Structure 1
Amino acid sequence: MDIKQLNALLAVAETGSVTRAAQVLHLVQPAVTRQIRALESELGVPLFERSRNGMIITEAGEVLVDHARRAVAELERARAAVRADPGMVRGIVNVGLLDSVTDLVAEPLVAALARTHPDIELHIFTAFAGHLRRWLYDGELDLALLFGVADPSAITVYPVAREKLWAVAPREAGLDPQQPIRFSEVAAHPLVLPTRGNALRTLVDEAAARAATEPQIGVQTNSARVLKQLVAAGHGWTVLPAVCLMDELTSDALSIAPLNDPAATRDLVLATPRTARPTPAVEAVAAALMHLLHRAVATGTWPSVSWNADGPNGAIHER
């Protein structure tokens, strides 16, 4: 089993076709076929089922793909680190961002690193908190900004900020951003909410329990953008963190107000795997990310947030 075979495996799994995989890898089709067959011969199990519709990965193939993806990523990071000049911060950094914060930091982070550390190759992955935690546990991410970490035993977490939850209603509801609203008033309307299992939905359910209310839930979706679209169209009210509502503070598409519930908050943290010591490149990305978040809090771009980190950069190597 070698790196060429693993690359062939990943390319076929992603494209579903030996022909397309060969194009991606800039190889001839027979070469890719030989590499897949060599892997299957070595392991003694089929990795794909051949069909008229392409290559369908088997259960054994899916297991190997998971391991191969991590192995190839580690080799790429090692290659970048070994080639780095002394004193130069260089390497590949896989950073995970909550889907709700991408508009706030993704592009500014790329721009900041292009200025200060142009030799860092940044890979940005966006997902919900549960997915980000799992990718950290599996070693697929070097760093992630997330919340809802109940068991930090497998990861190291660094406090970032505490963010209030807001009620979001159609424009005609006339909510006032300066006037907090009780959750019982929100629950008096049909709600559109994230599905159960989503960390934000758990926070909303806890708020409902504190208010001793049983909300009437209509539509459920795990997309903050879809939630806001449904509310704007009059399908109900919802609850979202402040970072999702930056545009709404200056527009009249929706009406919003913070929840009058001190416990209705989420604690954002920066997390790294415990199994790997952060590299200088990871530390540089973490510092840049923390600086951007602190600036957003200080300028009011990120509303109703209290800063929990030790300083504006919160560099992970200082802790």
Structure 2
Amino acid sequence: MNLRQLSYFIAVAEQRSIIKAAQLLHISQPAVSTQIKLLEEELEVQLFERRLDGTILTPEGKEFLSYARVALDTLDAAKASLRAHQVTEVGTVTVGIPGSLSPLLTLSLIEQVRQQCPGIKIKVVSGLSGHLAKWIIDGTIDFGLVYSSSSLSGLDFELLMKEHLFLAVDNSNAEAIKSMCVNDNSDIAFANLRHVPLVMPSREHGLRSLVEKSSAAVGIKLDVRTELDAHELLLERVLRSAEATILSLAALKNIRISHKEIFTAHIIDPAIERRVCVAYASDRPLTRTARRVEVILRELIKTEFNSGWWRFATINE
């Protein structure tokens, strides 16, 4: 049974004639007759009686007519509802953004969603990348940005961009760092980091794992004096001590700290590259409303990238 058969059946019932129904539907009479016959065979009842005064519904046909009309009316209502959503997105969307990107993106995302899609209620959750990934899988949040270096069961990743990490230190303590830089562009070799006292996130943090992997590859041990997981506190510690930290330029953007207070050196040999991905639950497709928010988030990231401050970053087109 299909919708075409139901449409043909209703047309014949209303016109009381297969010929008139075919003319109304702009198809051939045999095509209508064939579909009605297939429908009767599937239902195992006779739906029409062919009389001299027309094609008349049997008692079973009259009963089935009410069901057929409900089915088509329900389908029409569904189409109308979906068309309405195409014009105005409505609903609640929860987005996850890692702490280092949250100051850069969160308020702009909320503002843009309210401006472009006033029917959408948006909630932004900030946290460690690993925690966000788990919350996407269990449905606590709809989708989010994560830092990914490997696949995770239950999660699909789409690469948005790659960014390099930098050494950051208070300007009052920058001379020692500058003396280690290999050129006027403030590039510092990774091997030289062994001489720098550091404040870093704990080992469960993705950034720390990435840095430790590079450290092992170079064959040095980092001098981590303090561990803090909140990147705002990392920078506060940098300003209050002789310790430096390793972060992305995005972590400095929109923080209420004057960039004149922080000196940054690009880490090279090797550069530490971090992948920024959008993540979705593998078994839960995004709603149209969530997709709309995702598009806005992607545009915000592209706008920031095109502004020129995000040095040594590459965007995935």
Moved more, 176-185 or 195-204: 176-185
Q: Secondary structure at 2:107's aligned position in 1?
A: helix
Equivalent of 2:220, from 210, 213, 238? 213
Please report how far the alpha carbon of residue 186 of structure 1 lies from its aligned counterpart in structure 2 after TM superposition. 2.1
How has the CA–CA distance of structure 1 residues 194 and 84 changed in structure 2, closer, same or farther, with 3 Å as cutoff? farther
Which residue is 2:16 aligned to? none
Q: Secondary structure at 1:300's aligned position in 2?
A: coil
Please report how far the alpha carbon of residue 245 of structure 1 lies from its aligned counterpart in structure 2 after TM superposition. 2.4
How has the CA–CA distance of structure 1 residues 304 and 107 changed in structure 2, closer, same or farther, with 3 Å as cutoff? same
Please report how far the alpha carbon of residue 89 of structure 1 lies from its aligned counterpart in structure 2 after TM superposition. 1.1
Which residue is 2:281 aligned to? 273
Residue segments in structure 1 that go unaligned for 5+ positions in a row: 1-81, 311-319
Letter in 2 for 1:204: V
Letter in 2 for 1:261: D
1:110 equivalent to 2:117? Answer no
Which residue is 1:120 aligned to? 120
Which residue is 1:193 aligned to? 200
1:181 equivalent to 2:188? Answer yes
Letter in 1 for 2:142: D
How has the CA–CA distance of structure 1 residues 105 and 250 changed in structure 2, closer, same or farther, with 3 Å as cutoff? same
Q: Secondary structure at 1:123's aligned position in 2?
A: strand
C-alpha RMSD over aligned residues: 2.2
How far, CA to CA, are the matches of 2:82 and 2:121 in structure 1? 13
Paired residue total? 228
Please report how far the alpha carbon of residue 85 of structure 1 lies from its aligned counterpart in structure 2 after TM superposition. 3.7
How far, CA to CA, are the matches of 1:301 and 1:260 in structure 2? 18
| Preserved contact between residue 246 and residue 301 of structure 1 (Cα < 8 Å) | no
TM-score scaled by structure 1?
A: 0.67
Aligned counterparts, 1:74-93, within 5 A? 85-87=84-86, 88-93=88-93
Which residue is 2:263 aligned to? 255
How far, CA to CA, are the matches of 2:277 and 2:296 in structure 1? 15
Moved more, 277-286 or 231-240: 231-240
Which residue is 1:40 aligned to? none
| Preserved contact between residue 168 and residue 244 of structure 2 (Cα < 8 Å) | yes
| Preserved contact between residue 242 and residue 304 of structure 1 (Cα < 8 Å) | no
How has the CA–CA distance of structure 1 residues 149 and 93 changed in structure 2, closer, same or farther, with 3 Å as cutoff? farther
| Preserved contact between residue 109 and residue 296 of structure 2 (Cα < 8 Å) | yes
| Preserved contact between residue 91 and residue 121 of structure 2 (Cα < 8 Å) | yes
Please report how far the alpha carbon of residue 253 of structure 1 lies from its aligned counterpart in structure 2 after TM superposition. 0.9
Moved more, 173-182 or 184-193: 173-182
| Preserved contact between residue 246 and residue 303 of structure 1 (Cα < 8 Å) | no
How far, CA to CA, are the matches of 1:149 and 1:207 in structure 2? 13
Moved more, 299-308 or 163-172: 299-308
How far, CA to CA, are the matches of 2:142 and 2:222 in structure 1? 39
Identity %: 22
How has the CA–CA distance of structure 1 residues 305 and 194 changed in structure 2, closer, same or farther, with 3 Å as cutoff? same
Moved more, 206-215 or 84-93: 84-93
| Preserved contact between residue 200 and residue 226 of structure 2 (Cα < 8 Å) | yes
Letter in 2 for 1:291: E
How far, CA to CA, are the matches of 2:298 and 2:85 in structure 1? 26
| Preserved contact between residue 135 and residue 141 of structure 2 (Cα < 8 Å) | yes
Which residue is 1:291 aligned to? 299
Please report how far the alpha carbon of residue 227 of structure 1 lies from its aligned counterpart in structure 2 after TM superposition. 1.3
Q: Secondary structure at 2:215's aligned position in 1?
A: helix
Which residue is 2:211 aligned to? 204
How far, CA to CA, are the matches of 2:284 and 2:192 in structure 1? 47
How has the CA–CA distance of structure 1 residues 234 and 282 changed in structure 2, closer, same or farther, with 3 Å as cutoff? same
Please report how far the alpha carbon of residue 246 of structure 1 lies from its aligned counterpart in structure 2 after TM superposition. 3.0
Q: Secondary structure at 1:97's aligned position in 2?
A: strand
Aligned counterparts, 1:208-247, within 5 A? 208-246=215-253
| Preserved contact between residue 238 and residue 245 of structure 2 (Cα < 8 Å) | yes
Please report how far the alpha carbon of residue 185 of structure 1 lies from its aligned counterpart in structure 2 after TM superposition. 1.7
| Preserved contact between residue 97 and residue 145 of structure 1 (Cα < 8 Å) | yes
Give the structure with higher Rg (CA).
2
Letter in 1 for 2:168: V
